Amino acid sequence: MPGKMMLTYYFNSVPYTRMMKPETPVAMLDLIRQVRSVFPFAMTKEELCAETCSYGCPQKLLEYIDLEFTEWEQRIKNGEIPNFGDLNRLSNTSKKVYTILKKNMLVADIGDD
């Protein structure tokens, strides 16, 4: 799994291996990478707005979330370290945008609803 490290401990001379959680900048970049792979950023305006958008404007939502992602990528590149609250907020925002995109039939159901 990207962003995770293996640590090996020894207990009574027997190796014990466990996974370490990634640091928050790595977790934030992994989240952004995963969401970018699911969201339809490559769709044209005509494709996004082909149907009636009864649950929200997909184009505006994608522009908003892309701006959030770009901002965090730049902040991390500049050395800022996001905290768990930042990670949680971006995750929750992504989930809300995903839900609206799914209702507008622009993304496939990934099965964690």
pLDDT in tens, the chain (113 residues): 455 555 555 555 555 555 667 799 999 999 999 999 999 999 888 888 876 677 888 999 999 999 999 999 999 999 999 999 999 999 999 999 999 999 888 888 876 54
Q: Is residue 52 a part of any domain in this protein?
A: yes
Q: Is residue 92 a part of any domain in this protein?
A: yes
Q: Is residue 113 a part of any domain in this protein?
A: no
| Dist CA 28 CA 15 (whole Å) | 31
pTM of the model: 0.76
Q: Is residue 16 a part of any domain in this protein?
A: no
Q: Is residue 7 a part of any domain in this protein?
A: no
Q: Is residue 10 a part of any domain in this protein?
A: no
Q: Is residue 54 a part of any domain in this protein?
A: yes
Q: How many domains does the chain have?
A: 1
Helix residue spans in 1-113 (DSSP H): 24-38, 45-48, 58-77, 84-103
Q: Is residue 111 a part of any domain in this protein?
A: no
Domain with 60 in it? 23-103
